[in-house]
């Protein structure tokens, strides 16, 4: 710094730590230093004592020290001491800041719009003031596929969902940080801090028609099979469910269960106890993969109503065509012969059996012959009848004479 014309004035500035700096400075006129000349870089002989030089050095150091202490004291007394509390973490600062906003900026406290600061950011600082910053919690919310990343001052998941205007039904399922927590149990828990994740699985209402019974169920399961299982429905393998068990559920879906019946089937020499669904015997057999073929038939008949605990017999029927050669017995003819006495017989010609070829349909039921039907007959050799002559001539009467 330049003084009046013809003079040379310089100032040295010292920071709070004694080093040159832009603030909290101490200006020492150069003329004060000139008043105490010190010859630098001059080494006096050890035999020469100059008490005046040492005195001047001590005086300079003392003046600088007193001045520095004074400046530091003034600087300390003109600062404001406040306590900053960020979500329970506290520290004390000394500052020349004017407002709450200024001291938080100076302390590098980053603020989000959802954070709550007390007192307000434009409040002027007072010595001994405590500034409280309640940081908002970051929560990932998934409500039926609607994914949001929010910041909130709330801790209870119900309050967080209400703040986001996301409705939750009494049958919905909440997954809080991966844990399934019933809706009714949320208010019974103490929430010291907000969860990291909230997942809402919305329930749907479906109608289940089970024979003569109809029931409404609320479910959060993904498909029909798991929805019925979670609702306590017991299904047999042979039961029929429409739509199929892998069908995704949706609100208003109607599910029909057609119950199977216990039955016993005798087929191919085996007796099988099983279950099948159907209105008739034929439908039940088709459901379990046993079906008549050709001329097979059942007892009771295929079109008979299916009764519980039915005993069904499936009779396998086969037919074969066979050819057989059979003997045809000869016949005997009698002719009267007047030359023969009455009662006498004479074989004119011996008889000879004939032969025929028969084509026969043989019906087998469960391996046993049920019937044989001749389809065609062919004569291979005609039979030769036997001829017998019998007498017609009367015998002369015999005369008996008596002797004297």
Domains of the chain: total: 6
Residue 298 and residue 337 in one domain: no
44 belongs to a structural domain: no
Q: Identify the CA nearest to 256 among candidates 235, 242, 270.
A: 242
> Percentage of the chain with pLDDT > 90?
55
Q: Looking at residue 313, what is its pLDDT?
A: 94
Does 334 map to a domain? yes
Give the mean model confidence (pLDDT) for residues 251-262: 94
Same domain, 192 and 250: no
Same domain, yes or no: 247 and 295 = no
Whole-number pLDDT of residue 16 = 37
**Judgement on whether residues 2 and 56 belong to the same structural domain of the protein:** yes
pLDDT at 403: 52
Query: CA–CA separation, 358 vs 369, rounded Å?
Result: 18
| pTM, to two decimals | 0.52
Distance from C-alpha of 105 to C-alpha of 7, rounded to nearest angstrom? 45
Based on the fold, state whether residues 70 and 127 are members of the same structural domain.
no
Q: Which DSSP letter does residue 368 get?
A: E
Q: What is the pLDDT of residues 199-223, one digit of tens each?
A: 998 899 999 999 889 999 999 999 9
Q: Are residues 119 and 73 in the same domain?
A: no
End of a domain among 297, 315, 333?
315
pLDDT tens-digit series, residues 58-106 = 878 877 877 777 766 655 555 889 999 998 899 999 898 899 999 999 9
Query: pLDDT for 114-143, tens place per residue?
Result: 999 999 999 999 998 999 999 999 999 998
Rounded Cα gap, residues 11 and 213, in angstroms: 103
Average pLDDT over residues 369-386: 92
333 and 347 together in one domain: yes
Instruction: Out of 173, 201, 229, pick the residue that ends a domain.
Output: 201
- Which pLDDT does position 171 carry in this prediction? 87
- With cut-offs at 50, 70 and 90, classify the pLDDT of residue 399: low
Residue 109 belongs to domain with CATH number = 3.10.20
- Whether residue 45 lies inside any domain: the answer is no
What H or E segment, with its residue span, contains residue 21?
Answer: none
5 falls within a domain = yes
How high is the pLDDT of residue 38?
Answer: 46
Whether residue 209 lies inside any domain: the answer is yes
352 domain residue, yes or no: yes
The domain boundary residue, chosen from 315, 333, 356: 315
User: Cα separation of 33 and 40, whole Å?
Assistant: 13
Q: Has residue 12 got a pLDDT over 70? A: no
Of the candidates 376, 334, 324, the one whose C-alpha atom is nearest the C-alpha of residue 355 is 324
In this predicted structure, the answer to whether residue 243 has a pLDDT above a threshold of 90 is yes
**Does any domain span residue 1?**
yes
Contact criterion met (CB below 8 Å) for 109 and 133: yes
Q: How far apart are CA 200 and CA 176, in angstroms?
A: 9
C-alpha dihedral (56, 57, 63, 68), degrees to nearest 10 = 170
CATH of the domain at 330: 2.20.230.10
Let me know if residue 404 belongs to a domain. no
**Domain range for 237:** 204-258
């Amino acid at each position: 710094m330049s003084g009046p014309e013809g003079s040379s004035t310089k100032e040295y500035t010292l920071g709070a730590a004694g080093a040159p700096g832009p603030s909290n400075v101490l200006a020492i006129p150069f003329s004060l230093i000139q008043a105490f000349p010190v010859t630098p870089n001059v080494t006096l002989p050890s035999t020469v004592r100059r008490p005046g030089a040492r005195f001047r050095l001590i005086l300079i150091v003392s003046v600088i020290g007193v001045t520095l202490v004074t400046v530091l004291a003034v600087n300390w007394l003109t600062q404001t001491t406040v306590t900053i509390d960020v979500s329970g973490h506290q520290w004390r600062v000394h500052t020349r800041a004017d407002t709450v906003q200024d001291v938080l900026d100076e302390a590098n406290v980053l603020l989000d719009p959802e954070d709550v600061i007390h007192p307000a950011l434009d409040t002027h600082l007072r010595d001994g003031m405590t500034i409280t910053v309640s940081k908002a919690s970051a929560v990932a919310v998934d409500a039926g596929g609607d994914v949001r990343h929010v910041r909130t001052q709330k801790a209870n998941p119900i309050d967080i969902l209400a703040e986001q205007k996301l409705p939750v039904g009494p049958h919905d399922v909440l997954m809080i940080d991966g844990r399934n927590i019933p809706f009714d149990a949320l208010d019974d828990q103490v929430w010291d801090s907000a969860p990291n994740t909230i997942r809402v699985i919305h329930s749907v209402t479906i109608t289940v028609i089970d024979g003569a019974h109809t029931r409404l169920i609320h479910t959060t399961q993904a498909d029909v099979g798991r929805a019925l299982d979670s609702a306590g429905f017991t299904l047999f393998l042979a039961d029929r469910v429409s739509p199929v068990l892998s069908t995704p559920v949706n609100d208003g879906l109607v599910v029909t269960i057609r119950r199977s019946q216990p039955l016993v089937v005798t087929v191919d020499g085996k007796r099988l106890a099983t279950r099948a669904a159907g209105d008739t015997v034929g439908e039940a057999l088709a459901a379990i993969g046993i079906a008549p073929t050709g001329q097979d038939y059942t007892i009771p008949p295929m079109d008979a109503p299916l009764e519980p605990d039915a005993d069904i017999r499936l009779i396998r029927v086969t037919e074969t065509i066979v050819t057989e050669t059979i003997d045809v017995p000869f016949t005997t003819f009698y002719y009267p012969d007047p030359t023969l006495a009455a009662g006498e017989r004479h074989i004119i010609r011996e008889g000879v059996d004939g032969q025929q070829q028969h084509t026969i349909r043989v019906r087998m039921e469960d391996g046993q012959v049920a019937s044989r039907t001749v389809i065609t007959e062919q004569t291979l050799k005609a039979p030769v009848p036997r001829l017998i002559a019998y007498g017609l001539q009367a015998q002369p009467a015999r005369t008996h004479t008596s002797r004297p």
